[in-house]
Structure 1
């Protein structure tokens, strides 16, 4: 039988390791130059594959399968507008877009699958970000149609206290 103090120590250590795992995870990010454009206009989006909770490192990213925008009910493919960038030697991507009309612009990315040895499978990190043009507050909760369900819970310009 394990002494109670040792049992608690083992449990605490195990839980610490389990809860620390998400901090070591990597994610696909879409980082806009602004979340809200009060006067509309240009927004630049950086597509980065990184460990955000650790502040990096940035990982090399293959050219995405698709990058697009859903605005005012219309989807537009922006993949041809991608420009290759570099962050500390790792390939990242950038795209710029002009938002001339009021409403939410939902930018999304379907990256190339990558092999995750720890899980012994290929993984795709779908991502989206919302930019509110002319601070309209409209359309931010539209679904893009990705093969995963990731609805927006809060408008890009405010948090909801529930």
Structure 2
């Protein structure tokens, strides 16, 4: 009889333990952070307020790659802990310059490239981006300063060649 009670107690204990472990497997901590509701961003002025964390991370990694810089190039250190960055701070001028560049590329894509895409037109077009000019350099001034001498090698007679040929054909 005592053996039967001990055996029954053992099985109850094992059963309860298995049930607790089974419920622990379904706890919500396994949910990926990008699926959780996003808290409002503190200082987004150009990018949309409803941007997800993973989309924002993807954009920021693209900027750092295109300019070959680290996050600290645009983001100021935190006042409470210098080893962390204060992403909402506007203390660095580079952040304001980056906002202007984002507006510029969005404008170029929306006004000069999107109208020429076939129907149905995509909501966003990304033809012009940071790496187009920066090419892995934070300040592309030296690279871009040589562009004038490159364009002087072009023959002005070749410009608008197609239009000139069409005009000649109309005259005949």
TM-score between both structures, scaled by the size of structure 1 = 0.26
Q: Which structure: larger Rg?
A: 2
TM-score between both structures, scaled by the size of structure 2 = 0.25
Structure number having the greater helix percentage: 2
